[in-house]
Chains A and B, each alone.
Chain A
């Protein structure tokens, strides 16, 4: 039986993705800070799908705990999903250093610190899969969320490099670029309805992308087109837009 570790298991997308893996018979390791809530998700998946689910405490921001977290994992997973993310409030991050660092460290530094452990381990093994949930916000910095966007851009670049390094060693790396999703993260943020996907829908796309060994997926696919257009806008026009 294969094991899948989900980092940031409290998020709505992570929960939906856990269901997809559970349906396919994976045992799960759900890691995050809110172990009470994650424990309930674990119980639910165990009852529904008859799989083994472990709840693990993990704080992405506590870098020094990461090596131990990895070393204590038993068994080591075949699939790792990095789903932790923090949108933050752009206006606050512009002025508050600790808020800025929290956004950058959650979305980028902390995740990189963790994934490095798995990358080396998978490389040695010659097998394994890494799924990184980044964001279309990383495709071009916009004034509305560029701290978050910059961290995600860094993460996207990291995944791209990691894929090049590991693909020749039998390890798969999937970059996921979601657009708006109807989740806790976006509660209170106005998003265009037709462009806002449900977490369950996105989770299915991610699982399918993993199954068919894709490199980069946009969820839903039309975001690839939208972001192509956004990236193509010349800078002198872009600076005047309120996008």
Chain B
């Protein structure tokens, strides 16, 4: 079979791989070595890149739905976009969603994705009750919190290293409308936004956008968004009163080609962030549709191309709650001093979470992206040190450059995870370019 050039959402790295389409009924049966499953390729780095890539987007059927409990069973290649398209009009929403709906259920479990409701409703994996997994041996097994629970918990956040997720069962969330009651609160600095997060703990959804170029007393200048699902009564005086569950997968405004590399210099970022801050300061609160609330960037298909052909790096870390204030300040200072602003910087307060190698832990997380430019890697190494100094850790799904030691420091239960992987994949069939780089496989 011929090899194909492939990369994930960050556009870096690019590798040549053999891509096997996993169509129904399963055409792949283990034993290939250096193999990893891939969904819609929205992880940013090399998590789903390997010599052999098993493309699961072809297995995309709903298998069962209980309209009393909202429990949905589906194949792993079903996308969040498809779930929204068919279930929002019936009054159901995803229990947890990241900032894009163009991900698969399998990918959501492998990355154990988090969203604006982590502090209240944890990660996507928290809502999964059963999975069907194709193991390295070619055998297909069911796992759940009561059956092969080691495999179940290692697969949630396990980056595809335990096997290929074929099916999953999880609970959807009942909604009365497809609208969100949103408030946008400007914060002049880091202390203010952290206070706002504390005050917003009872809100289901909260997140802040940070202007990374603000300095001095404005360091951490941001807008905090918080929201709740709107009930029928909340929209009774709006034009949507008669279409409370309106949902439309509208055609998207695309970014048709790569911008010239370097078009996102610090001036354009400054303008963008300033504009965004002002726009939202004016917006205040109101009713908004769930699509722009959860997926503001999905409206621009291929927004990643705005960074040009060289691509960009995502950088996301979380700091323990006790060190969050000092650590964040130090990171933001380093960024502001360099003038290496990020097009997007997202701050979020995570709640408590028990997990094996899932990323979130209680404390503040910051997600940044940087266009690839000379000197960037050196700069990021400096940030790594700050993060480690404050006891933080990094997100697999967004990483394409960390060294093994830096990465492993943040994950005390890694050895336990690797034991379970070994039990279910003794010959090491499943590994990704990332797992090799980080010396996990």
A interface, CB within 8 angstroms of B: 12, 34, 36-37, 40-41, 43-44, 47-48, 184, 187
Residues of the B chain whose Cβ atoms lie less than 8 Å from the Cβ of A12: 23
Given A47-B86, A48-B86, A37:B62 Cβ within 8 A: no
Number of interface residues of B (CB under 8 A): 12
Residues of the A chain whose Cβ atoms lie less than 8 Å from the Cβ of B23: 12, 184
B interface, CB within 8 angstroms of A: 21, 23-25, 27, 61-65, 75, 86
7 A-B pairs, CB-CB below 8 angstroms? A12-B23, A43-B62, A43-B63, A44-B62, A47-B65, A47-B86, A184-B27
Residues of the A chain whose Cβ atoms lie less than 8 Å from the Cβ of B62: 43-44, 47-48
Tell me how many residue pairs across A and B have CB atoms closer than 8 Å.
28
In the complex, the chain B residue whose C-beta lies closest to that of A190 is B2
Residues of the A chain whose Cβ atoms lie less than 8 Å from the Cβ of B27: 184, 187
A44 CA / B86 CA spacing, docked (Å): 11
Write the nearest CB–CB distance from A49 to chain B, whole angstroms: 9
Write the nearest CB–CB distance from B247 to chain A, whole angstroms: 14
A34 touching B25, Cβ below 8 Å: yes
A12 CA / B24 CA spacing, docked (Å): 9
B63 touching A44, Cβ below 8 Å: yes
Residue of A40, A43, A187 near B24 (CB, 8 A) is A40
A44 CA / B23 CA spacing, docked (Å): 15
Residues of the A chain whose Cβ atoms lie less than 8 Å from the Cβ of B61: 40-41, 43-44
A48 CA / B25 CA spacing, docked (Å): 20
Residues of the A chain whose Cβ atoms lie less than 8 Å from the Cβ of B63: 40, 43-44
A41 CA / B86 CA spacing, docked (Å): 16
Write the nearest CB–CB distance from A105 to chain B, whole angstroms: 23
A97 CA / B65 CA spacing, docked (Å): 47
A37 touching B86, Cβ below 8 Å: no
Residues of the B chain whose Cβ atoms lie less than 8 Å from the Cβ of A47: 62, 64-65, 86
Write the nearest CB–CB distance from B66 to chain A, whole angstroms: 11
A48 CA / B86 CA spacing, docked (Å): 6
In the complex, the chain B residue whose C-beta lies closest to that of A47 is B62
A44 CA / B75 CA spacing, docked (Å): 10
Given A47-B86, A48-B86, A37:B64 Cβ within 8 A: no
A47 CA / B65 CA spacing, docked (Å): 7
A36 touching B64, Cβ below 8 Å: no
A37 touching B24, Cβ below 8 Å: yes
Write the nearest CB–CB distance from A209 to chain B, whole angstroms: 25
A40 touching B75, Cβ below 8 Å: yes
- A37-B25, A43-B62 are known; give 15 further A-B pairs, CB within 8 A: A12-B23, A36-B25, A40-B24, A40-B61, A40-B75, A41-B24, A41-B61, A44-B61, A44-B62, A47-B64, A47-B65, A47-B86, A184-B23, A187-B21, A187-B27
